[in-house]
Structure formats: C-alpha cells, structure tokens
Amino acid sequence: MELASISLTLGALLVFFMGGTVWIGLSLFLVGFGGFICFTDLPFGSIMATAAWNNTSGSAMLALPMFVWMGEILFRSRISENLFKGLTPWMDRIPGRLLHVNILACTFFAAVSGSSAATTATVGKITVPELAKRGYDKSLAVGSLAGAGTLGFMIPPSMMMLVYGIIGNVSIGKLFIAGIIPGLLLAAVFSLYIMGRCTMSPHLAPAGAEHHSWLQRLQAIPEILPVVILIFLVLGSLYAGWATPNEAGVVGVVGSILFAFMTRSMNWQVFRDSLMGAVKTTSMIMLIVLGASYLSVVVGYLGITRQLTLFVSEMGLSPYMLIIILTALYIVLGCLVDGFSMIVMTTPIVLPLITAAGFDTVWFGIYLVLMIELAQITPPVGFNLFVISSLNSDDVFTIAKDTAPFFLLMAFSTMLVTIFPQIVLYLPNMMR
C-alpha cells in the first residue's frame, strides 16, 4: 500500500477512535498498534517499551510532576484567588483585563519549566476556573491559554532547543539566548490581539463594578507578592545555578506550600487533594506522551516523514519558497507526530538544505521551535489541546477552534522572524 494511503488510513483511525470517546492516549496507542500490526513485521512490544522509556525518562518529564503539583497547590489554596484580586485593580482599565494573566503567567512559567505541557497545565489550573467565575469569554480565555502555553518551548531553558542543538551540532547557549526576543514578541502579539478584540467587543472581558484608585492598587500589591516571590524563587534557583529544572520544581512546591500556610489556606484536605490532582494530571499527560511517541515511531518506521522531506528536497526551490514549503510540511507533520519526533525525524535531512540556502542554523532552530509550537495547538495531536481538554472537559476540536486566532498570530510571528532574521540573531550575534 502506498504511503499516502497508509497515512490516510492512520489518520482516519485516529479520528474514529477520538470521535468514539476513547481516551486520547489510548486512541494514539491503538492507532500506533494498528500501524505496526497491519503495515510492518516489527516487534511492536519491545518498540513500545523503548518508546515509553525514551519519552518519559528525560529531564523535562521528570520535572513535570513538580510543576503540576505547584499549580495544584496554587489552584486549591487561596493564593490563586488572591492573585486575581490583586491584579484586578491594575488591569481594570486595560482592554482584556484579566485575560492578560494567561499571557503573563505563561511567560513567567515558561522561563521556569521549559515544557509547554507543564506551563499550560500549571497556569490553566489557576486561570481557567477563575476567569469562568468572573464571566470572561470562555473561547478567548481558552484560546489565549493554549497559545501562550506554547511559550514553554520558546523562552529558555527549552528542551526542544536542547534536542535540536545536539542533533544539529548547534550552540545550545546561542539557541537559548536567541529564543528570548521571539518569545517576548509572541507574548506581546498575543496581548495586543486580546486588547484589540476586547476593545471592539467589551463584553468579552466584563468590567469590574468600580474603577480603582492608585491607593487601592498599591494596597493590592500584598495579594500579588506571593506568586511574584514564588516565580523569582524558582527562576533565581535555576539561573543562579543552585538548582536543576527538577530541583527548581521542588523549590516551587515547597514555596507554594509555605505561602499556602501563610494565607491560612493549607490543611490536610487541601494537601491531599492537590497531591492527588497532580498525580491524575501527570498520569494523563504521561499517557498522552506515551501514545503520541508510539504513533510517532510507527510513522517514522513507515517512512512517511522521510518521504515528505525528501520530496521537498528534490524540488529545487528558492530560499524563501523553501521556507514556505517547509512550513506547510511541518504543519502537516504537527497533525501526526509530537515535537520531539519532528526534530529527530527531519533535522538530519532538512538542515543541509537550510544551510545550502544560506539560512543561519541558530535562526532555523528558533523557526523549528515555532513550528513545534504551532503543532502544539493543531489537532488531532496538539498536546496543549489535550491538556486544556482535561481542565474544562471540552473536546479537542472545540478547543482548536477557540485557539485558531492564536495559531494565525503565531504564523504571523513566524513570517516576521523569517523576513527580519535579526529578531532572532541580534542577541546571539552579540556573543561573538
């Protein structure tokens, strides 16, 4: 059977299982299993074991439970409620108001976790219920969370940049520095979009009952301080070299417990519920990661991604046309495989094409991360969509519809960094 037919068959099976309310992780497993059984003669059991170990033993996944637990504690204690109370006076005159908390919080947590899943899960646990309680537009709240959650891959430290740097023999330090300006650019674009939407449709972000004076804003600072201090504790321990990302997650958990006690909202029930919530959320994420990695392996063994990239390489395109075609290719791949697989499968083939076309390898690393971020919010394998689905019980395709404007904003940002590569290369060039 031709690869095109095989690809369509696997895609149809995935839609069938997910549409039949089979768990997302199990759906991915079943499609991967079916692909191995029907189209290969490989030992699917040992491959499953290897894929499971390789995709759950990395430092990003080891750090994930701690950051998820930190989010659970913040969510179940009074800290998250106080955060919104403290931010309300400061944002009552900004179009979009508390919707910007999604963007700001994801930007900060991205610099802590290096993981899109951890960023989305941690911030979403806090913001999704709070924004719903205050009557904010659900579609815009969910879309902004899904879009901003992808910043976990762009703002350093980033596991995706680390993997690309190792495979492509590119300076990881320069990649990390190169991600700062594009990451902040994405956050700014998201916030500007929210301001524009809410200016045209004020009902999307309900106004508070009163306007606040500067005295009231200053009095609200103590409500914000616990979260600000917590973020600086985690960031400080990480960037000062006192802690690894895993240990920084522990610092975040300990700090959140202490602040919960200080706000008199920590008791045995809250502790137990937060721990069990972290276990359930982490298990859900791990199951999806395992299923996605298993499906990615069968797609790789069948040669689907290799054939796509080879097809592009044989077309003899101009530099910018090459980028346009690669963008379309990566968007298609993002519907089939996870970000790690996109890097591992395509970098050895695509990187020589990029260098031959005159593009900088550091720039391409940031471009590739942007493509992976787009994949995070692209069904049916968009990982951020799955995480949010577990938080608000909406189906993946409904969330994808809410996220579509932010997908377009990320595509626009990709166009900007392609036309103006100095957005990416300015800081790395200062290192030379």
Average pLDDT over residues 358-376: 90
> Quick one: 320 and 410 in the same domain?
yes
Residues 63 and 203 reside in one and the same domain: yes
Q: Are 285 and 119 in contact (CB under 8 A)?
A: no
Q: Same domain for 220 and 273?
A: yes
Q: Which of 230, 252, 284 is the last residue of a domain?
A: 284
Helices (H) and strands (E) in the chain, counts: 23, 0
What are the structure tokens assigned to 426, written together? Answer: 């300015």
Q: What is the mean pLDDT of residues 2-18?
A: 74
Nearest to 31 by CA among 293, 403, 384: 293
Residues 9 and 73 in one domain: no
**Domain limit, last residue, from 251, 284, 317:** 284
Between 127 and 367, name the one with better pLDDT: 367
Least confident of 27-41, 189-203, 405-419: 27-41
Distance CA 218, CA 331 (A): 46
Q: Which of 260, 263, 242, 264 is nearest to 251 (CA)?
A: 242
Q: Which domain holds residue 336?
A: 3-55+293-430
In the structure encoding, which two tokens stand for residue 15, read together? 């839609």
Verify that 39 and 120 share a domain, yes or no. no
Can you give the pLDDT at residue 365?
A: 93
Both 340 and 208 in a single domain? no
Indicate the number of domains in the chain: 2
Asked whether residue 207 carries a pLDDT value surpassing 90, the answer given is no
Give me the helices (H) in 155-241, please: 159-168, 172-178, 180-200, 214-219, 221-239
pLDDT grade for 388, boundaries at 50, 70 and 90: confident
| Distant-in-sequence, close-in-space partners of 137: CB < 8 Å, separation ≥ 6 | 203, 204, 205
- Rounded to the nearest integer, the mean pLDDT of the chain is 80
pTM: 0.71
Q: Which of 116, 182, 181 is nearest to 147 (CA)?
A: 116
Secondary structure of the chain: what % helix, strand, coil (to 5)?
80, 0, 20
pLDDT at 113: 58
- Alpha carbon distance 187, 409 (integer Å): 10
Could you give the maximum distance between any two Cα atoms of the chain, in Å? 71
Most confident of 103-117, 216-230, 396-410: 396-410
**Structure-token pair, residue 264:** 């008199």
- Tokens at 28, concatenated: 């991915």
Residues 101 and 248 in one domain: yes
Q: Per-residue pLDDT averaged across 404-428, rounded? A: 92
CA 367, chain centre distance (Å): 15
Helix (H) or strand (E) holding 300: helix 268-301
Question: How far apart (Å, rounded) are the C-alpha atoms in residues 115 and 151?
Answer: 8
Same domain, 135 and 276: yes
Give the domain-ending residue among 267, 284, 301: 284
Residues 384 and 255 grouped into a single domain: no
Same domain for 187 and 306, yes or no, is no
Please name the amino acid found at residue 408: L
| pLDDT tens digits, 251-295 | 888 988 998 898 888 889 989 988 998 888 778 777 777 777 777
Specify the length of the chain in residues.
Answer: 432
The answer, yes or no, to whether residue 20 has pLDDT greater than 70, is: no
The Cα 116–Cα 123 span in angstroms is: 11
Separation CA 386–CA 106 (nearest Å):
17
pLDDT band for position 405 (50/70/90)? very high
Determine the pLDDT at residue 45. 78
Do 29 and 98 lie in one domain? The reply is no
Do residue 384 and residue 338 come from a single domain? yes
Classified as helix, coil or strand, 17 is: helix
Residue type, 46: S
- Binned at pLDDT 50, 70 and 90, residue 423 comes out as very high
Q: Tens digits of per-residue pLDDT, 70-111? A: 878 877 787 767 776 777 778 777 888 878 888 887 887 776
Q: Which two structure tokens, joined as six digits, stand for 231?
A: 């973020």
- In angstroms, the CA 128 to CA 120 distance is 11
